[in-house]
Amino acid sequence: MPGLPEKTTIGVGELKLSQQQSTAAAVDQWITGVPGRIPGHVIFVENPEHTDYAKTLAGEGSTILVLNGDKADDGIVPVSGSFDAAGEELLVDGTLSLEIQDYVAIPFVNLVGVTIVRITTEEDWQAFFHDAEEAVRSGYFVQQLTEVNAVLAERRLLSGPAKDNLLLARLHITWDGSVRTGPYGTKIGQVGDSLPDIRVRAVSLRPESAVAAVYYPWDVQDSLEAKPWIRRYLAALDAWKFIPREDRANTSLVGFGVSLYGAALNDGLPSANAPFILKRAGEHTLLDTSTGRLFKIGSDAAVIIEAVSNMRDIKAAARAVGPALKVSAAVAEGATRAVVSHFEQLGTSIMGASR
- The mean pLDDT value for 28-55 works out to 95
The pLDDT value recorded for residue 217 is 59
The Cα 313–Cα 336 span in angstroms is 10
The pLDDT value recorded for residue 5 is 36
Lowest mean pLDDT among 103-107, 264-268, 307-311: 264-268
Tell me how far apart the terminal alpha carbons of the chain are, to the nearest angstrom: 19
The pLDDT value recorded for residue 43 is 98
Lowest mean pLDDT among 10-19, 80-89, 257-266, 338-347: 10-19
Helix (H, G, I), strand (E, B) or coil at 273: coil
Vertex 147 angle, CA 258 and 37, to 5° = 105
- Of 260, 354, 355, 343, residue with least CA distance to 294: 343
- Of 262, 263, 261, 239, residue with least CA distance to 251: 239
- The mean pLDDT value for 147-172 works out to 82
CATH (one of 1.10.10, 2.60.40, 3.40.50, 2.10.260) for 246-345:
1.10.10
The Cα 269–Cα 348 span in angstroms is 18
Whether the CA torsion 31, 155, 157, 126 is positive or negative: it is: positive
The Cα 236–Cα 136 span in angstroms is 10
The pLDDT value recorded for residue 14 is 36
pTM score, two decimals?
0.89
Q: Where in the chain is the domain with CATH 1.10.10?
A: 246-345
* Residue 28: band (very low, low, confident or very high) from pLDDT cuts 50, 70, 90: very high
123: which residues sit within 8 A by CB, 6+ positions away?
104
Return the bridge partners of 64, or none.
43
The Cα 214–Cα 155 span in angstroms is 16
The Cα 85–Cα 67 span in angstroms is 14
Cβ atoms of 66 and 51 within 8 Å: the answer is: yes
What are the DSSP calls for 166-215, one per residue? T---EEEE-TTSEEESSTT--EEEETT--HHHHHHHHHT--GGGGGTTT-
Between 161 and 272, the more confident residue is 272
pLDDT digits (tens, 9 = 90+) for 70-129: 999 999 999 999 988 899 999 999 999 999 999 999 999 999 899 999 998 889 999 999
